[in-house]
Amino acid sequence: MGSEFCKRILVTGGAGFIGTHTVLQLLKDGFHVTVVDNLDNSVEEAVDRVRILAGEDLSRNLVFSIGDLRNKSDLEKLFSETRFEAVIHFAGLKAVGESVAKPMRYFDNNLVGTLNLYEIMGKYGCKKMVFSSSATVYGQPEKIPCVEDFDLKAMNPYGRTKLFLEEIARDIQKADPEWKIILLRYFNPVGAHESGQIGEDPKGIPNNLMPYIERVAVGRLPELNVYGHDYPTKDGSAVRDYIHVMDLADGHLAALRKLFTADEIGCVAYNLGTGRGTSVLEMVAAFEKAAGKKIPVKLCDRRHGDATAVYASTEKAQKELNWKAKYGIEEMCRDQWNWASKNPYGYQSKP
């Protein structure tokens, strides 16, 4: 689709985990891409690897700009020099625990950064947006699967930024119907590009399950703490909807396609998940199989604020975006291990 029109897309946070995989797919689909990232939670090496994977020809269509969404001048510079057809907005902080300890950092970065972005987009007449929301807006859901029209709630400051930003998007679109905004609620993104050249590389000790398992597998951490073994689930551990990052990347292309082809979009939310629930212990077993090694586990108390089971209803995305996840946990673990075994220290060489 992109190649016919050479549409240029601004991808904020495009050096990060989901951003890099999405940028690669955009380039392969013929889009021109500008990434803006302040490298707060990423490294430029990740963008360099995207260039290599895209190949010489397509990588000419990628521009990388170091910039911070909190600085309006960084955005002014980008929009005054280049015409963007749409924005995919990944940039944000995402660590739940850190957001409880430092709420102001989260409100400043996620809220102020996004408000600046809407302001400058509006000023330059770019009114098509794909926003990274999260399953966190369902809080601890009373029913599963989570359906897009459920009541929303936040459990922590990070979740509140996503909830507020969804509400803000709805208000902006209501006030000016020229805006088309798609809110994508990701469930639990995992895995890596099949090449093993790009993947998730969190700084410090990982908060999320899969990067933690990966660090145990490569010998950087001794064992996995399994938070909760007395949940009313099949094996006592909590259940989540893990989704391969390449499926997620393709979900963004489907959202863009909708932005460019449908008239009446307004501001609309879609779940991006597989619709299948997997327990922590099932995930550990699948990873052990993919890596061919044992992951030592310690059964621990539940983690504060965790839900028992969360998974997506996938009907709306399937029907309206014509998108459906292709990969299961076997492929997610295979590709995550491929990335981890090739890059045990992430984008760094051994420190």
79 belongs to the binding site for ligand NAD (CB under 6 A): no
44 belongs to the binding site for ligand WQD (CB under 6 A): no
In degrees and rounded to multiples of 5, residue 165 shows phi and psi of -70, -30
Binder to ligand NAD among 34, 38, 271, 279 (CB under 6 A)?
Answer: 38
Binder to ligand NAD among 29, 40, 194, 315 (CB under 6 A)?
Answer: 40
Among ligand NAD, ligand WQD, none, the one that 70 touches (CB under a kind-dependent 5 to 8 A) is ligand NAD
**Tokens linked to 139:** 């809080």
CA dihedral 39, 42, 45, 51 (to 10 degrees): -90
- Cβ proximity to ligand NAD: between 18 and 259 the closer is 18
Among ligand NAD, ligand WQD, none, the one that 91 touches (CB under a kind-dependent 5 to 8 A) is ligand NAD
**Tokens linked to 348:** 């760094």
18 belongs to the binding site for ligand NAD (CB under 6 A): yes
313 belongs to the binding site for ligand NAD (CB under 6 A): no
Q: Give which of 238, 319, 247, 330 is closest to 285, Cα–Cα.
A: 330
The residues annotated as belonging to the active site are 158
Among ligand WQD, ligand NAD, none, the one that 96 touches (CB under a kind-dependent 5 to 8 A) is ligand WQD
Binder to ligand NAD among 27, 54, 69, 269 (CB under 6 A)?
Answer: 69
Binder to ligand NAD among 7, 32, 49, 94 (CB under 6 A)?
Answer: 94
# chain residues binding ligand NAD, by CB under 6 A: 28
Q: How far is the CB of 209 from ligand WQD (least distance, A)?
A: 4
Q: Give which of 252, 227, 244 is closest to 339, Cα–Cα.
A: 244
In Å, how far are 141, 206, 258, 306, 313 from 224, measured between CA atoms? 26, 11, 41, 17, 29
Three-state DSSP at 340 gives: helix
Bridge partners, 184 (sequence order): 132, 270
In contact, 187 and 242? CB cutoff 8 Å: yes
Residues 6+ apart with CB under 8 A from 110: 92, 93, 158, 161, 162, 165
For ligand WQD, what does the binding mask look like between residues 79 and 98, x meaning CB under 6 A?
---------------x-x--
Rounded Cα–Cα distance for residues 339 and 53 (Å): 14
Binder to ligand NAD among 109, 114, 233, 343 (CB under 6 A)?
Answer: 109
For the segment 171-200, give every residue that binds ligand NAD (CB under 6 A): 186, 189
In contact, 157 and 105? CB cutoff 8 Å: no
For the segment 271-310, give every residue that binds ligand WQD (CB under 6 A): 280, 303, 306
Q: Do the strands 297-300 and 224-227 form a parallel or antiparallel pair, or are they unpaired?
A: parallel
70 belongs to the binding site for ligand NAD (CB under 6 A): yes
Q: Do the strands 8-12 and 86-89 form a parallel or antiparallel pair, or are they unpaired?
A: parallel
322 belongs to the binding site for ligand WQD (CB under 6 A): no
320 belongs to the binding site for ligand WQD (CB under 6 A): no
Rounded Cα–Cα distance for residues 116 and 302 (Å): 38
**Tokens linked to 143:** 């029913």
Rounded Cα–Cα distance for residues 41 and 300 (Å): 29
Among 9-17, 75-83, 222-230, 263-271, the segment contacting ligand WQD (CB under 6 A)? 222-230
- Cβ proximity to ligand NAD: between 13 and 157 the closer is 13
Which residues of this chain interact with ligand NAD, rule CB under 6 A? 12-13, 15-19, 37-42, 68-70, 90-94, 109, 113, 132, 134, 186, 189, 208
Which residues of this chain interact with ligand WQD, rule CB under 6 A? 94, 96, 134, 136, 188, 207-209, 212, 224-228, 238, 240, 280, 303, 306
